[in-house]
Amino acid sequence: MNESRVVAEALAELLAVLAHADRIRIVEELSHGERDVGTLQGIVGASRTSISQHLGLLRARHLVTCVRRGQHVFYRLSQHELSRWLVDGERLLAIETENTRRIARAVQRRNGSSTSR
């Protein structure tokens, strides 16, 4: 297997881990600092079990780490580049949204002018 294929497959696995809205929200929240499951549950709005499962998957990919303090386990991003990557993704969405609006306006103008013929 060539190096390009290995990198592409690793990236596909990473994207698969992030391909869930709750996991993206967890990563976004952890970009602001460490949080425990209860805090993440309140923000994300998912069950404790679901949050724990998502965190387990993120930990398995070494995207988050945890530390126990008393009875609480706090999670944090192990790679802060990930949060910057998500911000870049949001910028891409904004560009795509603007492009979609521009196309929609052009279609409306074209259809409006063709109906008046």
Contacts of 52 (CB under 8 A, 6+ apart): 37
Q: How far apart are alpha carbons 102 and 91 in whole angstroms?
A: 17
Q: Which pTM does this prediction carry?
A: 0.80
Number of domains in the chain: 2
| Residues facing 68 on adjacent strands | 73
Hey, which bits of the chain come out as E strands?
35-36, 64-69, 72-77
- Residues 6, 48 share a domain: yes
pLDDT per residue over 7-39, tens digit each?
999 999 999 999 999 999 999 999 999 999 999
From first CA to last CA, the distance across the chain in angstroms is 59
- Residues 57, 37 share a domain: yes
- Residues 93, 67 share a domain: no
- Residues 55, 31 share a domain: yes
Give me the CATH number covering residue 61.
Answer: 1.10.10.10
- What residues make up the domain containing 69? 1-78
pLDDT per residue over 46-55, tens digit each?
999 999 999 9
Annotate 24-55 with DSSP letters as a single string. Answer: HHHHHHHTTS-EEHHHHHHHH---HHHHHHHH
Q: How far apart are alpha carbons 82 and 99 in whole angstroms?
A: 26
| pLDDT in the model for residue 115 | 52
